Amino acid sequence: MLSTVTYVNSSIAILNEKTLNIHKDGVQAHIDLPSKGLLVCGCYVITETKDILVINDGAVKRIGKSHKTPTKMAISGSSMYIADRAGSVYELEDLEKTCMSQMEGAPKHLFGSISMITDIIVSEDSIITADKDNKIRVTDRQYPHRIQSFIQVHSKPILSIATVGKYLVAGGYDWYVSLYNTDTKEVLIFDLMQNKIERMGKTLPGVDDPENISNINLDAESKVRKLLGNGNTLLILRNSTPILVDISKINENLEVTCTEISGLSDKVIIDGISMEDGFAVLDEQGFLFKIVPSAPAPTQILQIPNYTHKIDISIANKYLD
């Protein structure tokens, strides 16, 4: 559900209440928004008043309005996909044409579910959503009334999904991150307490065999804030130190190379984004760090002046109860 940082055209943009801070080539700029920004993706922002904005050369233009309070958005091709708390997904088509038009676009309803959607990924053929009822749904992109599959690999609410190599990874309130092999349909579990991999075969953990999941019966709270993928590298953002996992180095014995990222501030990492050569992560004081998988010692990029943007997982928790 975290989408306050984005990377586009070699620039990093970060929401800070009613301001969008933009960093490029060592230069910072800020753009005033008409109301508090909730989500940012590429050059688009959705605000708490549900306005859909496009940012172009420092100018802000409203191009539409979200039907419900959005939880996540994704840009794919010429379309914007918006997921909301009511469990629906909408598409705003022909973005370039809409941005140039004097008329606002109307997001088209694609499909709905009975549970709040917490994350969305749009691929060439599919729309993948995760929800508070611990389900992952794979929907046909061309024919969104067709459900390709449900992936049930969690027993508690999912907050984040990502694609990493051949895996669809997911995490949230369980004490593990699931790695679903999209080719073989087999599931691996990365135990967040022991930093180790377990094989679950074709069993669906959380549904058919919950007792085999490590630490599944501990108190429910968000264990994963966000998952980020870059090639075969997975970055797990959590309330404690982030973990970098090299998925390509999982061997036959299920040993894996993972690194806890030290050298950050002592503040909680609240959001992050994948970039061309690694990741950028943001702490609660507005410090932004860059992490390169080949040399994971973080580098501080900038500090956002007067950073007060509130990103509180307990807010999500309230709606997940």
CA distances from 178 to 120, 218, 244, 253 (A): 16, 17, 15, 17
How confident is the model over 79-108, as pLDDT tens digits? 999 999 899 999 999 999 999 998 999 999
Nearest to 42 by CA among 100, 81, 97, 71: 81
Identify whether 181 is part of a domain.
Answer: yes
Identify whether 58 is part of a domain.
Answer: no
Task: Report d(CA 15, CA 25) in Å as an integer.
Answer: 19
Identify whether 43 is part of a domain.
Answer: no
3-state secondary structure of 18: coil
Chain-centroid distance, C-alpha 266: 23
Identify whether 141 is part of a domain.
Answer: yes
pLDDT category at 159 given cuts 50, 70, 90 is very high
Can you give the pLDDT at residue 257?
86
- Distant-in-sequence, close-in-space partners of 5: CB < 8 Å, separation ≥ 6: 12, 13, 14, 15, 40, 271, 272, 273, 280, 282, 288
Least trusted range by pLDDT, from 13-17, 25-29, 134-138: 25-29
CA distances from 204 to 25, 201, 214, 262 (A): 46, 8, 14, 34
Identify whether 37 is part of a domain.
Answer: no
The range of the structural domain enclosing residue 169 comes to 64-320
Q: Report the CATH number at residue 240.
A: 2.130.10.10
- Distant-in-sequence, close-in-space partners of 2: CB < 8 Å, separation ≥ 6: 160, 225, 226, 270, 271, 272, 311
3-state secondary structure of 98: helix
3-state secondary structure of 287: strand
Residue with token string 């459900």: 147
Can you give the pLDDT at residue 317?
46
Instruction: Specify the higher pLDDT residue, 66 or 213.
Output: 66
Identify whether 285 is part of a domain.
Answer: yes
pLDDT category at 314 given cuts 50, 70, 90 is very low
Identify whether 157 is part of a domain.
Answer: yes
Q: Which two tokens stand for residue 260?
A: 């806890």
Instruction: Specify the higher pLDDT residue, 28 or 251.
Output: 28
pLDDT higher than threshold 70 for residue 208: no
Average pLDDT over residues 66-86: 94
pLDDT higher than threshold 60 for residue 291: yes
How confident is the model over 33-67, as pLDDT tens digits? 999 999 999 999 999 999 999 999 889 999 999 99
Average pLDDT over residues 266-274: 91
pLDDT higher than threshold 90 for residue 25: no
Task: Report d(CA 241, CA 244) in Å as an integer.
Answer: 10
CA distances from 19 to 95, 169, 227 (A): 23, 32, 25
Identify whether 233 is part of a domain.
Answer: yes
In the chain, % helix, strand, coil (3-state, to 5) comes to 5, 50, 40
Task: Report d(CA 230, CA 280) in Å as an integer.
Answer: 11
Q: What are the residues facing 13 on neighbouring strands? A: 6, 22
Nearest to 127 by CA among 180, 72, 171, 178: 72
Can you give the pLDDT at residue 93?
95
Q: How many domains does the chain have?
A: 1
pLDDT category at 220 given cuts 50, 70, 90 is low
